[in-house]
Chains A and B, each alone.
Chain A
Amino acid sequence: MNSRHRRSLLTIGLILLALIAASLFSVGRGPVRIDLKETLTVLLSKAGIEVPGDHYRAPKESHTRRIIIWEVRMPRVILAILVGAVLSVGGAAMQGIFRNPLADPSLIGISAGGAVGAILMIVLGDFLFATFHRVEPLLVPLAAFTGSIATTYLVYRLSCYDRRSQVVTMLLAGIAMNAIAAAIIGGIVTFSRNDQLRSFVFWSLGTISGSTWNMLAIASPFLLIPLAIFPFYGKVLNAFALGEAEAEYLGFNAQRAQATLITLTAASVGVSVALCGMIGFVGLVVPHLVRLIIGPDNRYLIPASGLMGGLLVVVADLGARTVAAPSELPIGIITAVLGAPFFLILLRLSHRPAT
């Protein structure tokens, strides 16, 4: 194993450590401060390991703090990790398939389709369901997910010609679908009521609040299965760097690989958009950030982007809920404010050209 591989693995290890540290730290922050020792004690006890000597609080207070750690903050941190990972890995995959450093999952209509689905449900929900206010938290994500998948599928089908999906056509179809979606959203927003508008704006800016274990249980197959499969496509994506035809000459079924990667991205990012709205910037920038550190080899880029994306969103979410406490900032604002300057500095310092 040569030094390049060693360096990449070392970097991945360091990002993983940073991710674990940031997650533990984040669990302890908030209106109720909890130190690392107590956090670890609660987490370990959930894993069946009881740490002795933690009886300095009254049982009732201790119980409340356990609930804060385990039922409120843990699901939130885990969702942040998964959403960050999914957005970043999806971004790396899209940039690889489209051979375009400006690509991200929103390019093929995942976010735009999700937004159309969400606003349609927010506005039409009252007509469709008598008790809409009660099922709204469930139906809006469902509509967003449906919108994401349907739009991506449409973009993919539109790009097929001569028994092959043409990458450039897909890119252009994606841009067109984004324009159509923006028009539909604009049109609906114009005629929507104030409370509906507020609902939509809140949804579209993105938030990780309100995550529960139940919600995670439903969403996790869509997030975890793609995350487990993506790393196996590192070699194919490297071959794709030369072009779709070259990937085929190097022994890959390029069309199938492309369809698989798009499906995985649409499913995982679709769920992420449905649950957390549009968290911009992560999918585009995290892969670049990682490339600046370890280079463009997708065998390392994919796992490293996943961890780095998780790290970024965990830190951003910590900022979102603490900076302006007790009110919460939309996380999209934090990811941009936090990530962009850091990225610009790296871009200037790096000796390796970004593209």
Chain B
Amino acid sequence: MIKAEAITLIRSNKIILDDISLEVPAGETTVIVGPNGAGKTTLMDILTGRKLPDRGSVFWEGKAIGKYAFRELARWRAVLSQKIELSFAFTVLEVVLLGRIPHTRLLETRRDLDIARQALALVDAADLADRAYTTLSGGEKQRVQLARVLAQIWEEYDDHARSLFLDEPTSGLDLSHAFSIMETISAFSARGTAVLVVLHDLDLALQFADHVVLMDSGRILKYGNPKDVLRPDTIGEVFRVHARLVAHPETDRPHLILEPLTGSEN
């Protein structure tokens, strides 16, 4: 359980985050949605301990985040940022093995290699293992980076609940990979990991989230289960689009249909 209490962050006289409180429970997937500049990534940075808030505090399992050592955190908390480029030609397998650094001494063990290969297989990138990372496409890079963060928290460390932060993990992926990656992430969270994902695709959020946080202008507008938060009227207002919720003809699951606002309606 990750808990943020009354987080406020001010930069250059602008309020970036305004009095935000949030709980991210273990074993479930919490999705943050919101328009550009809503403060999603900044909130994530504060929850991971990367940035310090001006007011408020973050607790991990009841302990203030500042009390943990970097290395300790890295053994059960993994973060996937947007777009990671490398300047040197590490192979894909080497990149995934970087995720094992918090668990290795000098050289990685056979176990680390096994985990790296399994993680690659999980994101459908096993056949990329020996390619140079720098030669991959954007979507392939994204999957490899996901494999790296999964490898980092592959096993429970010292009975400590694990957590996974993902900033738009599906942004550059084709549809089938976007679905399978979200399924992988859900399965990971179901095994007891607290997962927090920033997503742009509202329909994906609707399908895969246990909880949705809707943010705008540094505030949390709504928090709750996906169907309650992602209502057509709310979405229409916040994202300034025309939204409709329809049931899938066969599965009956709700799906969002989004269209631009036409001039006359505005």
Binding site for B on A (CB under 8 A): 1-2, 5, 95, 99-101, 162-163, 235, 238-239, 241-243, 245-246, 248-253, 291, 295-297, 299, 352-355
Contacts and interface: CB of A to CB of B under 8 A. Distances in A.
B81 A355 contact: no
Interface of B is mostly: mixed
A251 B88 contact: no
Interface stretch (B57-65, B94-102, B224-232): B94-102
A250 B74 contact: yes
Nearest to A1: B107
Interface residues of B, number: 34
Nearest to B71: A251
Interface in B3-56: 11, 48, 50, 52
Given A242-B86, A246-B81, A251-B101, 17 more contacts: A2-B113, A5-B107, A99-B86, A241-B87, A241-B88, A242-B95, A245-B50, A248-B50, A249-B48, A250-B74, A250-B98, A250-B152, A251-B102, A297-B94, A353-B89, A353-B134, A355-B87
Contacts of A2: 113
B102 A355 contact: no
30 contacts: A95-B88, A99-B86, A99-B87, A162-B11, A235-B101, A241-B87, A241-B88, A241-B90, A242-B84, A242-B86, A242-B98, A243-B81, A246-B79, A246-B84, A249-B78, A249-B79, A250-B98, A251-B71, A253-B70, A291-B88, A291-B89, A295-B90, A299-B106, A352-B89, A353-B132, A353-B134, A354-B89, A355-B87, A355-B88, A355-B134
A355 B88 CA distance: 5
Interface of B: 11, 48, 50, 52, 70-75, 77-79, 81, 84, 86-91, 94-95, 98-99, 101-102, 106-107, 113, 132, 134-135, 152
Nearest to A163: B52
Contacts, number: 85
A248 B70 contact: yes
B132 A352 contact: yes
A241 B145 CA distance: 13
B51 to A, nearest CB: 8
Contacts of B84: 242-243, 246
